[in-house]
A and B are shown apart, each in its own frame.
Chain A
């Protein structure tokens, strides 16, 4: 166990404590805790079924855990977020949390225009002026390095990499305090994957967005994360600085995982 922070006095943005969730008699999450500081990128690795995506869905308030607490240190956001009612949950997610899913169908209306998909986020937050909507959607698409001449094309006509950029634009349109990424580059060609990773890195540096990224791809996690959490069978088996977890893994499972990488 490491000491409490001694130099950095900033409050963590995100604190999740002892989150547990079962599906029937399968324990998907057991006492999972995480702390993320403003501007930090936390990577979560683990194989399929480790609970990492379930945990991310809890952080996006789309999954309700059986136990645990979750707080975000933001103005006008108080208490355990798992206790919020449906309306408050929806508003909080729309305005303060952005998410990018592996499967664009989960995050986008595939037959609506790309700009419309991004603007929808802004509509939910109460923006009604057409020109403002369009301008903000354009800015977000631009920041996600989406080619603007295609902003009115529906995602269904776009490549996988472009669909992820639309999701990303939608996620950052309201400048969220927290960006959640669930296998954002899985399934993309390696070259496209590098471009999307680069965009994420750029966004992180320029906008200082706090991120939690889930992936089974260690390369992706290593490229983006400051800190890494390793999950197995619903539990956290190890966490630490990204370079330390990859270079000097302590847990038997993490050693196996790191050595299995090509």
Chain B
């Protein structure tokens, strides 16, 4: 079952103060199925993170289509109304970044419970489940009610993972989520991703050390300019 169908996607940045245009990636096309894990490869600056952000609509595509097969029908994320994108981000599309967006005076557990609260879950249930995931990612109970603004990078990242992965998305983008994680947290992340993948979540990821997720990868796309293959199938799953 197709989840994402990308056609001729091109992105560049116009920098008005320099009067310059910088190309990021050019004419990318690929298909992603439910439960598939796609790894983006390429050197620094090849446009891996830019591609993720363009798919998530944090960046505007220059041309091309991003056809997302949502629970409500097919929609082109490159051109979808803001309100539709906001809705899909809350319900079907997740993005795990390297950084937690902490808010002043909001506890770790409240931050993790928030996606469940927004999905209509009652406060108590949401908090219970939030604590379960904080525990799973190795955040000590003493920190659950504390404000993550003061946490170390690694602890913040665990909170971030618990928050973004608490609800199973249909489509998940991963931008170097293992960067600041210790061994245990990395294992917990792989476990959760494996679980989500089995449930049918389609994933696209950028990893500095792809070995971390070797067991999950189905296919790779090389974004290095002039790489001959563009897309090569590593092995076929499903």
A: residues with CB less than 8 A from B are: 2-8, 37, 40, 194-195, 197-198, 201, 205, 223, 226-227, 240-241, 243-244, 247-248, 250-252, 255-256, 259
Contact = CB atoms under 8 A, between A and B. Distances in A.
Given A7-B84, A40-B83, A226-B82, 18 more contacts: A3-B80, A7-B72, A7-B73, A7-B87, A37-B83, A194-B104, A198-B103, A201-B103, A205-B118, A244-B60, A247-B59, A248-B13, A248-B53, A248-B60, A250-B60, A255-B16, A256-B16, A256-B17
B82 A2 contact: yes
B106 interface: yes
A6 to B, nearest CB: 6
A6 B84 contact: yes
B70 interface: yes
A21 to B, nearest CB: 26
Nearest to B114: A205
Interface string B100-121: 0001111000000010011000
Given A244-B60, A247-B59, A252-B17, A4 B53 contact: no
Contacts of A256: 16-17
Contacts of B88: 7
B22 interface: no
B75 interface: yes
Given A2-B82, A8-B87, A244 B59 contact: yes
B105 A8 contact: no
A33 B117 CA distance: 32
Contacts of B105: 194-195, 198
Contacts of A252: 16-17
Contacts of A251: 16
21 contacts: A2-B82, A3-B79, A3-B80, A5-B81, A6-B72, A6-B75, A6-B84, A7-B72, A7-B73, A8-B81, A40-B86, A195-B105, A198-B105, A205-B117, A226-B82, A240-B60, A241-B82, A244-B60, A248-B59, A248-B60, A251-B16
A259 B18 CA distance: 13
B83 A247 contact: no
A205 B81 CA distance: 22
A5 B60 contact: no
A207 B88 CA distance: 21
B76 interface: yes
B75 A241 contact: no
Interface of B: 13-17, 53, 57-60, 70, 72-73, 75-76, 79-88, 103-106, 114, 117-118
Contact of B103 (A37, A223, A227): A223
A241 B103 contact: no
Contacts of A248: 13, 53, 58-60
B58 A6 contact: no
A241 B80 CA distance: 11
Main secondary structure of the interface of B (DSSP, over half): mixed
A226 B87 CA distance: 11
Nearest to B84: A7
A36 to B, nearest CB: 10
Contacts of A250: 14, 60
Contact of B82 (A194, A195, A205, A227): A227
Contacts of B82: 2, 226-227, 240-241
A247 B53 contact: yes
Contacts of B85: 241
Nearest to B117: A205
| Nearest 5 A/B pairs, CB to CB | A252-B16, A5-B81, A194-B104, A248-B59, A7-B72
Contacts of B15: 255
Nearest to B81: A5
A5 B73 CA distance: 13
B76 A3 contact: yes
Given A7-B75, A255-B17, A2 B104 contact: no
Contacts of B83: 5, 8, 37, 40
Contacts of B57: 241, 244
Contacts of B53: 247-248
A134 B84 CA distance: 41
Contacts of B70: 7
A241 B86 contact: yes
B80 A2 contact: yes
Given A198-B103, A252-B17, A255-B17, A5 B84 contact: yes
Contacts of B76: 3
Nearest to A254: B16
Q: Determine which residue in B79, B82, B103, B106 has the highest number of CB atoms from chain A within 10 A of its CB, and name it.
A: B82
Contacts of B58: 241, 243-244, 247-248
